Amino acid sequence: MSGSNHLSRRDFIKFTTGAVGGIITVGIGLPAVGFLVDPALKESKAGKPIAIGKLEEIPVGKPYPFSFTITRVNGWERTAANYGGFVLRKSADPKDILILSSRCTHLGCTVNWNESANAYLCPCHDAKFSVQGEVLDGPPPIPLRHFNFTIEDGVVVIVPVEIGQEG
Amino acid sequence: MWQKVYTWLDERLGLGDMYTALLDRPEPRGNWWNTLGSASLFLFLLQTATGIFLTVYYTPSPDHAYDSIQYIMTGVAFGWLIRGIHHWGASLMIIVVFIHMLRVFFTASYKYPRELTWLVGIGLLLMTIGMGFTGYLLPWHQMAFWATTVGTQIAGSVPFIGDFILKALRGGPDLSALTLQRFFAAHIWMLPAVLLALIGAHLYLIIKHGESHFPGKDD
């Protein structure tokens, strides 16, 4: 046997069993991994623009809270998620507006405007953001994120996608 | 390097002995009919693997069972493949297990000293059929619902204790959310646990006694 190219029956069976087993394992294993991680590979669609309030009702110089709900289809179920933020009119100019998300950039808790502290405070880890959203104190790595907006017939309409300096 | 690692492990685990006992044991001259037990074992492992993956998306609730399976079939990458294998593998496993039993019967392999292997095999057949019966309800479509209605009704026709059996199977007088939940529990926990234990016993007995010779003309 040794020294020749002859393959013994036993070795042939061993090799074939191993090869077929390997093909089956890979053939099922790879799709199974795809099956498992599939939801992570799906792009989430950007939501439709949302009207959040009349411009004339929003005071100048003071954060004005708002909230909205986005319903998304997750798998076979519709899931409603609540989002919120603050509209800050910096001046009487209708374009001079900053719309911040209330989702803390640290770990995602909801920040609240605190009048006496003159800051947004996060209840989870004592983060502190200025009225413009800059980090004043605490663990957040970046300022509060903001929303893009348009003014349509005196109504503030936002694009429900948070924008921020990620990193 | 690998030789050293292997030697180290072999000294402590007895890998070589295990290989000899499990895979290199002497066999009588056989034919393809002797491979049906291995085929059943392979199908069991395949059903286990695909079944575990299906539970990632499947929801055993009347509100979501059907929709979650629709999602597996159309929304998840390779969902059709994983469920397809589980679906067809189930039917195939019943067939293969049954032919395996017929082979053992016709070659008289159940006789001394292998009676217990046969008895354990009966348990394996019943558990396999139980897996088929409980799994059939899980898609929660019309066919599943009415098949289980009929199946549990048949079990309920036993004299005296029939009503009790029917209620125990359904989790009440009607086919309900409780039925789906307990069939799911039976399908993924209880029956597989028993099946696994019986497979262990079955394999131990096969390795202990070796496989039987085919009966010759003198037998």
Least CA distance to A29: which residue of chain B? B49
What average pLDDT does the segment B112-125 reach? Answer: 96
Q: What ipTM is given for this predicted complex?
A: 0.83
Convert B58-76 to b/e letters by CB count within 10 Å (16 or more is b): bbbebebbbebbebbeebb
How does residue A1 score in pLDDT terms, banded at 50, 70 and 90? Answer: very low
The number of distinct structural domains making up chain B is 1
Q: Which of A16, A76, A79 to mutate to test the interface with B (most CBs of B within 10 A)?
A: A76
Q: Is residue B63 part of a domain?
A: yes
Q: Where are the domains of chain A?
A: 1-42, 50-158
Q: How far is B171 from chain A (nearest CA, A)?
A: 27
Q: Where does A50-158 sit in CATH, by number?
A: 2.102.10.10
Q: Which of B23, B61, B81 to mutate to test the interface with A (most CBs of A within 10 A)?
A: B81
How does residue B106 score in pLDDT terms, banded at 50, 70 and 90? Answer: very high
Q: Is residue B49 part of a domain?
A: yes
Q: Is the pLDDT of residue A167 over 80?
A: no
pLDDT tens-digit readout, A58-69: 888 889 999 988
Write down the pLDDT at residue A78: 85
Write down the pLDDT at residue A166: 64
What is the DSSP-derived secondary structure letter of residue B34? G
Q: Is residue B173 part of a domain?
A: no
Containing domain of residue B76, as a range?
33-139+191-209
What is the DSSP-derived secondary structure letter of residue B132? H
pLDDT tens-digit readout, A90-130: 888 888 899 999 999 999 899 999 999 999 999 999 999 99
Q: Is residue B219 part of a domain?
A: no
pLDDT tens-digit readout, B161-180: 999 999 999 999 999 999 99
With an 8 Å Cβ cutoff, are B76 and A35 in contact? Answer: yes
Three-class SS of chain B: CHHHHHHHHHHHHCHHHHHHHHCCCCCCCCCHHHHHHHHHHHHHHHHHHHHHHHCCCCCCCCCCHHHHHHHHHHCCCCHHHHHHHHHHHHHHHHHHHHHHHHHHHHCCCCCCCCHHHHHHHHHHHHHHHHHHHHHHHCCCCHHHHHHHHHHHHHHCCCCCCHHHHHHHHHCCCCCCHHHHHHHHHHHHHHHHHHHHHHHHHHHHHHHHHCCCCCCCCCC
Of residues A4 and B86, more confidence is placed in B86
Which residues in chain A have Cβ-Cβ distances shorter than 8 Å to B67? 76-77
pLDDT tens-digit readout, A73-85: 888 888 888 889 9
Of residues B13 and B219, more confidence is placed in B13
pLDDT tens-digit readout, B120-146: 999 999 999 999 999 999 999 999 999
**Crossing angle for the helix pair B15-22 and B2-13, to the nearest 10 degrees:** 70
CATH number of the domain that residue B49 is part of: 1.20.810.10
Q: Is residue B20 part of a domain?
A: no
Q: Is the pLDDT of residue A3 over 60?
A: no
Q: Among candidates A8, A76, A48, which has minimal Cα distance to A160?
A: A48
Write down the pLDDT at residue A46: 67
Mean residue pLDDT across chain B: 94
Write down the pLDDT at residue B109: 93
What average pLDDT does the segment A25-29 reach? Answer: 92
Q: Is the pLDDT of residue A156 over 80?
A: yes
What average pLDDT does the segment B59-69 reach? Answer: 95
